[in-house]
Amino acid sequence: MLVNYFKLKNISWRGRIIALSAVGGVFVFLSLFSIWQRNFTDTLLNYVPNEAVFYAHFSRPKINNLSQFDKLLAKVLADFGLTDLTALNIDREMAVVGRLEGEQINYNLLIKTDRPSQAKKALESAGLAYKFLANNKIVIADKDQLANYQKNRNNSVKSTAQKRFYSLSSINLYISPEFFRLEADDLFLNFIFGLLKNDNSDLVLNFRAQRDGLKVLTGWLSSAVGALDTFPVHPPKEKIAGDLVLAAADLKSVLGNWQNNLKNISPSDYDIFSDGEWGTYLNTYLPGETGLSAPAGQVLLSVRKNRNNSNWLIGDYDFYLVIEKYYPAKVEEILKILMANHYPSVKNVYLSDGTKVTELTPEIKRWNFLEKNGANYLYSPDSQFKLIYQSLANNVIITNSEELLFQNWPQPDFNYLRFNSAWLSDDGAGRYLKSFAELEVNNQGLFLK
C-alpha cells in the first residue's frame, strides 16, 4: 500500500518525505512501546505450582522506581531472611507464591537476577535453600518444596488470573477463595476481600507505579466498588488536617449504592454487614431512613489520633463531623446512647436465692446537655470526655474537641477520601501497606502514596 502511494505521480517529494516520516515515527513509537512493555512482562508466572492460592508479582523497572516500592520489597525479602535488596541484583522481577499444603500455606520467593553468581552468593550467605529454574531465575524455598517448582505454562494461577493482570502493572496480585478461608482471623484482609472480590469469588488487584505513588487499577474489581467510576472526586484546594478525611456531597446515596451492589454480588456478605453493629447503626441513624429527618446531603468528617489511650474509640480520636439537614433531636439521641453505653448505671440486684449481682444498665434519661457559647455539651461523669454538637444554618456539627469546633473548615460540596496508613495493623497485610504514608481517593483514582 505504501509502495502504491509513492508511485502516484501527483505526490510531491515533500509529501513523500512527510509520509515516510510519519511511518518512521509510528515504527519508532511501536518499537519503544514494545521495549517499555518488556519491562513489565511476567516471566515468573510459568513456574507457579498448581497448588498456589496466592501470587504477587512485582515489576521493578529502574526507570520508573519509587522509594516506597523498594521499602515494600525490602519488607517482603525480610520475611524470607534476606536483608540486602541490592545483593540479589534483582533484574526487574520478583514474585511471592503461596502454596497450599493440607491446611497450611507455605510462602516461597521467585526472583529474576541480572547477576546470578552474586545472587547465589547472597543466598548461600543467608543460609537459604534455593534452586535455579533458568540461568537467571531462582526459587527460594525449603528444601522439600524446591521440587514443586518447574516450568508449567498451564498452571492454575496463569489460566485463572493472567488475562486479568494489566500488562503494565508494577504489582499484580491474585488471591484464591481458599486463601481467605484459611486466613479468616485477619479481619482487615477479609474486609478487603468482601469488598473487592469479583464474580469468581477470587481477588485480582493491579497496581501501577506513578510519580506520586501506586495507583490501584480498578478494571477487574468487584462491581461493589463500581461507585468509584460514578463518584466524581474533587480534592480540596487546601489539604484538610486529619488522619482520616471523608467528604461526600451525598453520603446516603454513596452508601446506598455500595450496599445494593454488595447485595447483588454476595448476599451472604451483605447479610453479615447489614446485621452487624455498623450496618444496624447506619440503617437506624442514617438521615432519611426513619422519616425523622430530611435526606442527607453534604458530609465532612475529619478524625485524628490523640494521646488519651483510654481504649474508647470516641475518646481516643478527636473528630469533627458536619452533616447537612439533620435534626438536633436525632443528634442528641445518638450522643446520649454513646455516652450511656460507655458509662452505664451500676445497680445491685438480689436474686431469689439471696445472691447479690451487679447489673450495668445504659440509662439514656440520666444524660442532659448543657449550652455553652452557642453549642451543646454532654460531659462524662468523670469529666474526662465531652461530646458537642452545634446547629449552624442548614448543618449540624458534631465533635468531641472545642479546638476542632472553632476551626475554619471547607464547605463539604465535594467527594474525597484519605486516611493515614498508621491506622493499619502491624500484622498481616497492614504491615506491607505501611510502606506508604497514606491511601487517597482523588480525581485521578485510588492511590497508595
In this predicted structure, the answer to whether residue 293 has a pLDDT above a threshold of 50 is no
- Give residue 279's pLDDT band: very low, low, confident or very high (50, 70, 90): low
- pLDDT at position 104, please? 92
CA–CA separation, 119 and 83 (whole Å) = 13
> Do residues 14 and 59 both lie within one domain?
no
Give me the domain span that covers residue 144: 45-223
Q: Residue 448: inside a domain, yes or no?
A: no
∠ CA 189-284-258, rounded to 5°: 45
Least confident of 285-299, 315-329, 368-382, 391-405: 285-299
Q: Residue 278: inside a domain, yes or no?
A: no
> Do residues 208 and 114 both lie within one domain?
yes
- pLDDT at position 350, please? 73
> Do residues 138 and 13 both lie within one domain?
no
Q: Residue 233: inside a domain, yes or no?
A: no
Reduce the DSSP state of residue 320 to 3 states and report it: strand
> Do residues 179 and 322 both lie within one domain?
no
> Do residues 401 and 334 both lie within one domain?
yes
Per-residue pLDDT tens over the stretch 178-235 = 998 888 777 677 767 766 777 777 888 888 888 778 888 766 565 545 545 556 788 8
- CA-based diameter of the chain, in Å? 116
How many other CB atoms are found less than 10 A from the CB of residue 439?
A: 20
- pLDDT at position 243, please? 93
- pLDDT at position 56, please? 96
Average pLDDT, the chain: 80
Mean pLDDT of 438-447: 83
Mean pLDDT of 131-144: 95
Strands (DSSP E) found in 122-281: 130-134, 137-140, 171-175, 203-210, 213-217, 244-248
> Do residues 68 and 212 both lie within one domain?
yes
In this predicted structure, the answer to whether residue 32 has a pLDDT above a threshold of 60 is no
- pLDDT at position 331, please? 87
Q: Is 364 left (phi over 0), alpha (psi -120 to 50) or beta?
A: alpha
- pLDDT at position 18, please? 60
> Do residues 295 and 391 both lie within one domain?
yes
Strands (DSSP E) found in 235-332: 244-248, 299-305, 317-324
In this predicted structure, the answer to whether residue 73 has a pLDDT above a threshold of 70 is yes
Residues 331 and 389: beta-carbon distance below 8 Å: yes
- Give residue 97's pLDDT band: very low, low, confident or very high (50, 70, 90): very high
Least confident of 147-156, 259-268, 332-341, 367-376: 259-268
Kind and range of the H or E run holding 274 = helix 267-275
Mean pLDDT of 401-423: 89
> Do residues 306 and 211 both lie within one domain?
no
Q: Residue 263: inside a domain, yes or no?
A: no
- Give residue 124's pLDDT band: very low, low, confident or very high (50, 70, 90): very high
> Do residues 85 and 190 both lie within one domain?
yes
> Do residues 67 and 21 both lie within one domain?
no
Q: Residue 109: inside a domain, yes or no?
A: yes
CA–CA separation, 393 and 412 (whole Å) = 14
- Nearest Cα neighbor of 374 from 393, 360, 351 is 393
- Give residue 174's pLDDT band: very low, low, confident or very high (50, 70, 90): very high
> Do residues 11 and 148 both lie within one domain?
no
Q: Residue 325: inside a domain, yes or no?
A: yes
Q: Residue 19: inside a domain, yes or no?
A: yes
Pairing label, strands 356-361, 345-350: antiparallel
pLDDT over 90, % of the chain: 35
Q: Residue 440: inside a domain, yes or no?
A: no
In this predicted structure, the answer to whether residue 46 has a pLDDT above a threshold of 90 is yes
Kind and range of the H or E run holding 370 = strand 370-372
CA–CA separation, 94 and 172 (whole Å) = 11
Q: pTM for the full model?
A: 0.74
- Give residue 290's pLDDT band: very low, low, confident or very high (50, 70, 90): very low
CA–CA separation, 424 and 428 (whole Å) = 10
In this predicted structure, the answer to whether residue 327 has a pLDDT above a threshold of 50 is yes
Note the Cα 281 to chain centre separation in Å.
23
Number of domains in the chain: 3
∠ CA 316-321-322, rounded to 5°: 170
> Do residues 78 and 203 both lie within one domain?
yes
